[in-house]
Chain A
Amino acid sequence: MEAIKDLINFLSYPKWSFTLSLVVFFLLVRSKKLWTRRGGLIMLVAAVTLFSLSLLDPNFRSVVAKPDNVPIVMMVFLVGFFLWLALYKGIRNDELIERGEPTFEKSEVEDKIFTWPDLVFIEFICMILLMVGLVVWSILLRAPLEEPANLAVAPNPSKAPWYFLGLQEMLVYFDPWLAGVVLPGLIVVGLMAIPYIDTNPKGNGYYTFKERKTEIILFLFGFLVLWCQMIVIGTFLRGPNWNFFGPFEFWDVEKIEPLVNVDLSEIIWIKVLGVGLPSHWLPREIFGIILLALYFFALPIVFSKTRGLRRYYEKMGPPRFYTGVGLFLMMMLLPIKMYFRWALNLKYFVHIQEFFFNV
């Protein structure tokens, strides 16, 4: 038992768990068997069993059973359930489309039903059930109230509200101006841009997977792998000093992780070229600047000429294509930086402390 726990603790460290989640994500979106009733049931039983067994562990319980963490556990299960539901319905519809039959929604869309009583009663019953659920939850679980506010005593760890913990987790890899301001801003801008970038006329108003594969995979990658997973890590697996702790690990305040992160400029000028760092920031950071410029400006042009992607370029037109690719590259900056950190202990690609411009 202890060996299994140790293994899970080890595998949950971001460099392994993130890699695993990437593999699992691509297996999930390629699988068809999982998105059936049977597959859903198996996944549900597996998740509930694993969760219940984990609850036996006191360290796991102490983190998960914190009153404010209960809704996040609920969220994980809800997101899992609705992911299954959406893909289940999408793949059933894809089968119907393949056979040349109307989708499930299409066969019912012409059928107009009186709002009274059908919709009104559905809403009424939902409201009652929600209210009952909320009242029971409120009676069972008291809202926590800690000691009076005191700016002189910082709790360790100090955490932002849970829905921002994905952003706080990004602070491990990026400076606050990116993790706390620019990237969240771009998430909002990117979400708003979706309907204007996505020109695929199919899949409007019904579940499908095949007809919108690229869009769905990109969205799920951002929503599940980056947003939700980072929140789970930030909430359940980050302890004192924002150190990482496996799910069955004790939150030890004394835990020290040696951090010797280096900048790209140091790697190139000192390690590779063997000369000292230039004193002016421009020659010092020139390699990082070139790298970023290539990433953000040359790569989109390369994409527009790549064989598999050129059809998107032609279909969408340059403005949509470049906006979409730009947002995509911004999103991918996070996993890319993560892997550079894990592989090379890279701190910054570009480190211009003079202007607080650190990437």
Chain B
Amino acid sequence: MLKKIQKSVTQSQVWKSIFRVGIPTDNRKRALAMLGNVVLHLHPIKVKKSGLRMSYTWCMGGTAFFLFLVETITGLLLMFYYRPTVEYAYFDMVDLREVAAFGIMRELHRWGAHAMVIAVWLHMFRVFMTGSYKPPREFNWNVGVVLLVLTLLLSFTGYLLPWDQLAIWAITVGSNMARATPLVGTEGPGSALLQLGGRKLIHVGSDARFALIAGRTIGGGTLIRFYVLHCVGIPFIAAFLIAVHFWRVRKDGGISGPV
């Protein structure tokens, strides 16, 4: 009976139009399954056995990417509820916690973010310990370092959004550093040199910190700036660089292994 239903489903025109190959039963179909699917074709048809081992890869690059997807999806759902203004931000968080359906979205997003930072570090640790940054993979290591920085920036910009005491003070402590940027921070070495006709060019209303938090103190301007960076700006760049990262893994000879 079940067999019959299964057969009639998998033989139907609808099914066949979606899954051209079906469940692979021979090597030709195994290759076709990888080639015909947009997600799977990120992978080559065959991989080194040494690179397949979890004890070699620690699965950390994949974990980091998976968490990036989790963050994208949960973040999208959170965006339906959250308004990045001083009036609403905090109370939308309270609502997310108390009344929104599937009330663990914020938890998934927050713990996923912490986990992603850790996964990216561990991925870098593994790549270093296997010497996988060595030629021909130097450039991809660099892309990876930029992705690591972007991960931290994503987490940092997201930190402000709950608009609670933890958020605003963590960003205060973090963004105060910008004040001390050499040349372009008011309290940075060399900023006093930038003068025009005796007038200081770098002051609290024009320095790096001002540009970062859109004001002299953290407020509504900072919130919208961090929100846009967090939800659109940085994810866009990160997604692009992830694509470059994966592309280069393939072009540099697949997962690293001894030559």
Contacts and interface: CB of A to CB of B under 8 A. Distances in A.
Given A109-B257, A115-B45, A181 B188 contact: yes
A161 B188 CA distance: 23
Contact of A149 (B94, B107, B114, B168): B168
A126 B63 contact: yes
B68 interface: no
A194 B107 CA distance: 36
Most buried by B among A79, A105, A195, A216: A195
Contacts of A104: 50
Interface in B23-38: 24, 27, 30-31, 33-34
A154 B93 CA distance: 21
* Interface band, chain B: 35 or more
Given A151-B168, A151-B217, A206 B258 contact: yes
Contacts of B167: 149
Contacts, number: 274
A356 B134 contact: no
A100 interface: no
Contacts of A113: 46-49, 52
B111 interface: yes
Interface stretch (A20-28, A140-148, A277-285, A318-326): A140-148
Contacts of A246: none
A130 interface: yes
Contacts of B59: 122, 126
Nearest to B142: A192
A137 B115 CA distance: 11
A116 B108 contact: no
Given A144-B166, A204-B134, A205-B132, A112 B125 contact: no
Contacts of B192: 355-356
A58 B168 CA distance: 28
Nearest to A113: B49
Interface stretch (A30-38, A70-78, A327-335): A70-78
A90 B129 contact: yes
Interface string B86-97: 000010011001
Contacts of B53: 108
A176 B179 contact: yes
B129 A196 contact: no
Contacts of A78: 118, 122
Contacts of A147: 164-165
Contact of A151 (B55, B108, B164, B218): B218
Nearest to A201: B134
A182 B112 CA distance: 29
B55 A203 contact: no
A65 interface: no
Nearest to A224: B125
A114 B27 contact: yes
A161 B185 contact: no
Given A68-B114, A163-B117, A204-B259, 20 more contacts: A107-B50, A108-B49, A109-B48, A109-B50, A114-B27, A118-B47, A118-B52, A122-B54, A126-B63, A130-B67, A135-B104, A149-B163, A161-B170, A176-B179, A194-B141, A203-B131, A204-B132, A206-B131, A219-B128, A356-B192
